[in-house]
């Protein structure tokens, strides 16, 4: 592998660039996952994760990607015949509806066109119409269009009225934007290691409320690996996982959580806001159109429409080959129409300016006239606050 290949700047919406400290943590010797060293490691992870999830409640870690975490959360709560309210506004929220369907649940989807999100009023109205509801399953930030729900803080009150659970897929947003789990009254929050936490892929981390814990511990489900009752029991009583954990990833997660807390969660969220602002302002100034409506724009996934005559594959290849910058295209019906930048984890002045520079020069390569210098100077000013 040559140097260029190794040193790419990974600006896709996860996995993100992993800090050296986190990478090094994975080279520690293997330990007994039923011994005291692992117990300490797991306890540390739980304590730190509680601060990042802003919860006093249960934290469990699954050796699986985010999908496993989301599917586990849903499968441990939703049963055959249960009504589940799901705002659908992208590929990941569509998948959530599919997980509910697979269990035999009844997904009640409130759809919004790509680039926007269902409003709180629409969700509330549907809820009042259906009334018998087992859970709200909400993707806080749908990574496929780069769209964020901006009313998550209000949903728990509604759920309370209907004695329903709130399950939140926060895979592409937790630690990059606000999500105080306890304050907002969310029952299960799921995230994954490879996004805003800036650890390598392979772990799903779940915050589980007392109410959800009580339910899960009594609930009979036909699952072995993703049986959350076992994870809760093992993590609380023994500081272990029921099955062999991906130990090097646990080391990495522990270090990544330390980095979040050393920076301070609120400062980290603010940094994501500022870097997002720099991306949106600069690319709009270059004449590009953000894909998402202003009120639903994400700070962690920045998506822009391609101008006519720019071919997605060629554009991104140009960025990667000439600048070592890797961004993502769209998927599903957005393939070829948008590009997406992961504004996650370590993202800082260097990441933004390098990515912007590469995009602006590439736009010129593809025939667009762009005032690169002025745009970069403005971005530098915005980024002074980081």
Ligand X SMILES: Cc1ncc(COP(=O)(O)O)c(C=O)c1O
- Comparing every residue's Cβ against ligand X, the nearest one is 66
- Cβ distance to ligand X smaller for residue 302 or 360: 302
| Binding of residue 345 to ligand X (CB under 6 A) | no
- Cβ distance to ligand X smaller for residue 67 or 106: 67
CA distance 5 to 8: 6
- Cβ distance to ligand X smaller for residue 99 or 306: 99
Contacts by residues 363-370 (CB-CB < 8 Å, ≥ 24 positions apart): 363/286, 363/288, 363/307, 363/310, 365/318, 366/309, 366/310, 366/314, 366/315, 366/318, 367/309, 368/286, 368/287, 368/307, 368/310, 370/286, 370/287
Site for ligand X (CB under 6 A): which residue of 70, 197, 288, 375? 70
Site for ligand X (CB under 6 A): which residue of 55, 75, 147, 172? 172
What is the closest distance, in whole angstroms, from the C-beta atom of residue 171 to ligand X in the complex? Answer: 4
Secondary structure (H, E, C), 193-233: CCCCCCCCCCCEEEEECHHHHHHHHHCCCCCCCCCHHHHHH
What is the closest distance, in whole angstroms, from the C-beta atom of residue 202 to ligand X in the complex? Answer: 8
- Cβ distance to ligand X smaller for residue 142 or 177: 142
- Per CB under 6 A, which of residues 1..40 are in contact with ligand X? 14
What is the closest distance, in whole angstroms, from the C-beta atom of residue 186 to ligand X in the complex? Answer: 15
- Cβ distance to ligand X smaller for residue 152 or 192: 192
Contact partners, residue 76, CB within 8 Å, separation at least 6: 216, 219, 221, 223, 226, 227, 228, 229
Of the candidate spans 4-12, 137-145, 250-258, 324-332, the one that interacts with ligand X by CB under 6 A turns out to be 137-145
- Per CB under 6 A, which of residues 150..169 are in contact with ligand X? 169
Contact partners, residue 52, CB within 8 Å, separation at least 6: 174, 175, 197, 257, 260, 261, 265
Q: Which two tokens stand for residue 313?
A: 């594959």
**Count of residues in contact with ligand X, rule CB under 6 A:** 13
CA distance 159 to 77: 14
Q: Which of 186, 236, 47, 181 is nearest to 228 (CA)?
A: 236
- Per CB under 6 A, which of residues 248..277 are in contact with ligand X? none
Contact at 8 Å (CB) between 355 and 325? Answer: yes
Of the candidate spans 48-56, 61-69, 125-133, 267-275, the one that interacts with ligand X by CB under 6 A turns out to be 61-69
- Cβ distance to ligand X smaller for residue 301 or 370: 301
Site for ligand X (CB under 6 A): which residue of 139, 196, 319, 370? 139
What is the closest distance, in whole angstroms, from the C-beta atom of residue 97 to ligand X in the complex? Answer: 13
Of the candidate spans 48-56, 75-83, 139-147, 212-220, the one that interacts with ligand X by CB under 6 A turns out to be 139-147
Contact at 8 Å (CB) between 135 and 82? Answer: yes
- Per CB under 6 A, which of residues 184..243 are in contact with ligand X? 192
**Bridge partner residues of 109 (DSSP):** 86
Binding region for ligand X (CB under 6 A) = 14, 65-67, 70, 92, 139, 142-143, 169, 171-172, 192
């Amino acid at each position: 592998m040559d140097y260029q290949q190794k040193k790419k700047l990974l600006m896709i919406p996860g996995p993100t660039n992993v800090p050296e400290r986190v990478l090094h943590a994975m080279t520690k010797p293997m330990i007994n996952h039923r011994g005291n060293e692992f117990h300490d490691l797991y306890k540390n992870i739980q304590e730190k994760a509680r601060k990042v999830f802003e919860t006093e409640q249960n934290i469990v870690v699954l050796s699986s990607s985010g999908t496993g975490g989301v599917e586990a959360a849903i499968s441990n709560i939703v049963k055959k015949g249960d009504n589940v309210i799901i705002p659908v506004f992208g590929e990941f929220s569509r998948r959530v509806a599919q997980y509910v369907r697979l269990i035999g649940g009844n997904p009640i989807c409130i759809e919004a066109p790509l680039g926007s999100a269902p409003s709180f009023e629409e969700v509330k109205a549907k809820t009042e119409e259906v009334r018998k509801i087992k859970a709200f399953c909400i993707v806080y930030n749908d990574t496929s269009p780069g769209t964020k729900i901006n009313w998550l803080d209000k949903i728990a009150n509604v759920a309370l009225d209907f004695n329903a659970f709130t399950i939140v897929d926060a895979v592409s947003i937790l630690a990059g934007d606000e999500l105080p789990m306890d304050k907002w009254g969310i029952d299960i929050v799921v995230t994954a290691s490879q996004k805003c936490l800036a650890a390598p892929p392979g772990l799903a981390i779940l915050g589980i409320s007392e109410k959800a814990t009580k339910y899960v511990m009594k609930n009979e489900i036909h699952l072995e690996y993703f049986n959350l009752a076992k994870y809760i029991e093992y993590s609380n009583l023994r500081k272990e996982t029921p099955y062999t954990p991906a130990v090097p990833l646990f080391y990495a997660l522990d270090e990544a959580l330390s980095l979040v807390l050393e920076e301070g969660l609120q400062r980290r969220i603010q940094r994501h806001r500022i870097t997002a602002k720099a991306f949106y302002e600069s690319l709009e100034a270059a004449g590009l159109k953000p894909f998402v409506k202003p009120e639903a724009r994400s700070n962690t996934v920045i998506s822009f429409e391609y101008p006519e005559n720019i071919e997605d594959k060629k554009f991104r290849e140009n960025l990667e080959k000439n600048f070592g910058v890797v961004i993502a295209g769209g998927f599903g019906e957005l393939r070829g129409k948008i590009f997406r930048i992961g504004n996650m984890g370590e993202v800082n002045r260097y990441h933004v300016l390098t990515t912007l520079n590469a995009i602006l020069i590439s736009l010129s390569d593809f025939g667009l006239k762009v005032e690169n210098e002025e745009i970069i100077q403005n971005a530098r000013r915005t980024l002074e606050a980081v």
